[in-house]
Amino acid sequence: MHVVVIGGGIVGLSSAHALVEAGVDVTLLERGSFGAGSTARSAGGIRAQFSTPINVRLSRESLPVWESFEERFGVDVGFRQHGYLLLARTAASADAFAEHVAMQNRLGVDSELLTPRAATERCPGLDPEPFRAATYHARDGYADPNLAVQGYARAAREGGADLRAGTAVRDVRVADGRVTGVETDDGPIAADAVVNAAGAWAAGIASLAGRSLPIAPRRRQVAIVEPSDGIPETVPLTIDIDTGSYFRPEREGTALVGGHFTDEDPDVDPDAYGESMAFDWAATALDRAADYASYFGEASRLKRGWAGLYAVTPDHHPILEETLPGFVTAAGFSGHGFQHAPATGQVVAELCVDGAASLDGVDALASDRFESGDGPVERNVA
């Protein structure tokens, strides 16, 4: 069996690795450099504290890989398990947190529901007054996406995958209702299956196969800040769910600060969007963080920042399915693709080889959910 994977980010590379582990011949095509798209601009978060069972299951299946990445792949991705701390300002959000933790616990995730005062034990600089509840999971954390790309790429190559950078897909070949390969700048490639792991470019790839998928490229920004007060490395990645603000420690005493603070969220051209941080956004991000954490006083200083792309679906869940015979979609993770890449790769391999995935609940991620409108909606996003 020969499978072509389109997209050399973390999801495509994880899929290529899982496929070669399953004994499949793999050709991976990346129009640019491996991991240079959304993966390189990710904040690297890894968490299990989601609001829907399928996202929790994707996290639960991925976490052991992140925890043993160096042993498996020979690359230390710097996975710092200082936890995630989620904060709720409203009664509705606090009630939802209680439901989410109960569900996470049922699925084997040892998350905790905390009072705001107890949350300050995890994040000493936190002002508890604006909040009604918090959740925490000690095994959550963050890792280096670029190092993860290196590990997956090396392992896939060692398994026999043909990884081709600088190779753009110009068309997806379909015959008698089945995908049979792709057309590239270097010529046609026949395949038994094609995997669309193109991230923010995935809707365009799907259109080449005659399918319309609701995956929208949306711009997201991150700032690196020198806090006015030192931020301990043990502080968790902290998210104010009701405002969308988040921060976490970064190297050498700096902090990463982010969030999306406007109702306006237009689609952007993934080939022509602004990759630089906007300073008015950065000032807002810093003000939002300062509202609830003492680390970001008036002496805090912006050092640098960047913008990247989320591949967003209407319900903030990925599309994971065989969209048409021979065409598997693994895209639309809405900012969660990095952390869910290990489990996603396994799902992709099973869809290609077995025709079905073993992960419980993955059928909920089929694209026909958007026609009925009854799919799950992820609430814990930032």
- The string of pLDDT tens digits covering residues 120-159 is 999 999 999 999 999 999 999 999 999 999 999 999 999 9
Q: Given a cut of 90, is residue 251 above it in pLDDT?
A: no
On the question of pLDDT at 83 being above 80, the answer is yes
Which residues, 6 or more positions from 82, have their beta carbon under 8 angstroms from its beta carbon? Answer: 141, 233, 234, 235, 236, 237, 249
| 286-341 pLDDT, tens digit each | 999 999 999 999 999 999 999 999 999 999 999 999 999 999 999 999 999 999 99
Segment holding 183, helix H or strand E: strand 178-184
CB of 200 within 8 A of CB of 332? no
- Rounded CA-CA distance 168/347 in Å is 25
**Token couple for 300:** 């805090």
pLDDT for the residue 374 = 74
Confidence class of residue 18 from pLDDT cuts 50, 70 and 90? very high
Q: pTM of the entire structure?
A: 0.96
Spans of all domains in the chain: 2-53+145-214+314-372, 81-140+216-312
Under the banding of pLDDT at 50, 70 and 90, the label for residue 353 is very high
How would you list the strands of the sheet with 178-184, edge to edge? 169-175, 178-184, 187-190
Residue type, 244: G
Beta bridge partners of 363: none
Q: Report how far residue 6's alpha carbon sits from residue 173's, in angstroms, rounded to the nearest whole number.
A: 13
Contact, 61 vs 342, CB < 8 A? yes
Q: How far apart are CA 72 and CA 85, in angstroms?
A: 28
Tens of pLDDT, residue by residue over 157-172, are 999 999 999 999 999 9
Mean pLDDT of all residues in 198-213:
98
Q: For 2-53+145-214+314-372, which CATH superfamily applies?
A: FAD/NAD(P)-binding domain (3.50.50.60)
Token pair listed for 177: 């209702």
Name the fold adopted by 81-140+216-312: D-Amino Acid Oxidase; Chain A, domain 2 (3.30.9)
pLDDT surpassing 90 at residue 263: no
Assess contact for 236 and 122: CB atoms under 8 A.
yes
